[in-house]
Amino acid sequence: MPTTVTLGNGLQIGGDAFVVMAGPCAVESRELLLAAAEAVAASGAVVLRGGAFKPRTSPDSFQGLGPAGLDLLREASRATGLPVVTEVMDPRDVELVASSAAILQVGSRNMQNFPLLREVGRQRLPVLLKRGAAATLEELLLAAEYIRREGNSDVLLCERGVRAFDPSTRYLLDLGAVPALRQRTDLPIVVDPSHGTGDASLVPAMAKAALAAGADGLLIEVHVAPERALCDGRQALRPAAFAALMADLRRLAAALGRQWVRAEPRPAGAAPRSGAIPQGCLDDEVIAP
């Protein structure tokens, strides 16, 4: 029996449904975040992504806006109605991040940060657990078990590419992991083709392949001006490319008999919601193949 994870707004991840989470790699400014959030919402994403705490390889790189970034994520969530997935790196920040997020992201670099896993396991929010770049599926599943042992069973597993020998792509997106995990766990499986390829031109093909492989959702980086991005600009889709990909995914989902989940549309001109976030709903429109 597949497990479904239900967000605070009622949106379900897992089962027949297919969900797309999208947004910038990092929260960089109010203007850029709101523009990206509006763009991904308009194209049908149902969760907004964006990091306020960024794990960067170099200490000289942009580290994220921290708590100010969380404030901006809350504002973008209110403006678009989309719940937020955002990374937490430090067990001491878990409660702070949890107050702004609908899903706590544990990044690849922290997949085996056991104190962090235990701390997110004590929260009442779903956790998106990213596979370590050199982690086996067994290790990923055991990391998820750390979270579940603390009482939080709402874990989304995320394949985001593993380290391999060929520098042609940033990582090697392991799509075989999707059916392989499916045989071993009931947890929903999300694929991140942005980090998995490191190249925006490769993202659409791998996003569609992930859906075809049976993923429950996607995590995709979108930026309104990738050339100006402070983090991962090369792999960010522009809004127009994201919209085109979403149209393709929607047709593919229909062909595969998957339910396409969309956010409940906000009436035109309606004021941004404060507090409550609209429930996701299944798209039952007939889609031409």
Binding site for ligand PEP (CB under 6 A): 25, 51, 55, 87, 107-109, 130, 160, 192, 195
Please tell me the distance from the alpha carbon of residue 82 to that of residue 181, in angstroms, as a whole number: 28
Select 56 or 182, whichever has its Cβ closest to Mn ion: 56
Give the list of residues 6+ apart from residue 169 with CB closer than 8 angstroms, or none: 161, 196, 197, 198, 199, 202
Residue 216 interface partner, choices Mn ion, ligand PEP, none, CB cut-off 5-8 Å depending on type: none
| CA-wise closest residue to 66 among 32, 97, 21 | 97
Least distance in angstroms from the C-beta of 88 to ligand PEP: 11
Query: How, if at all, do strands 12-13 and 5-6 pair?
Result: antiparallel
Alpha helices in the chain (DSSP H): 30-43, 67-80, 94-98, 114-121, 137-149, 177-184, 193-197, 203-213, 239-255
Which of 121, 117, 103, 5 has its CA nearest to residue 51? 103
Taking the least distance from each CB to ligand PEP, the nearer of 192 and 252 is 192
For residue 258, give both structure tokens.
């998957």
Cβ 1 to ligand PEP shortest distance, Å: 28
Q: How far is the CB of 25 from ligand PEP (least distance, A)?
A: 5
Tell which positions 211-250 bind Mn ion, by CB under 5 A: 232
160 binds, among ligand PEP, Mn ion, none (CB under 5 to 8 A by kind): ligand PEP
Q: Does residue number 135 form part of the binding site for Mn ion (CB under 5 A)?
A: no
* Shortest Cβ 232–ligand PEP spacing (Å): 7
Q: Does residue 192 touch Mn ion according to CB under 5 A?
A: no
Residues lying near Mn ion in the complex (CB under 5 A): 25, 232
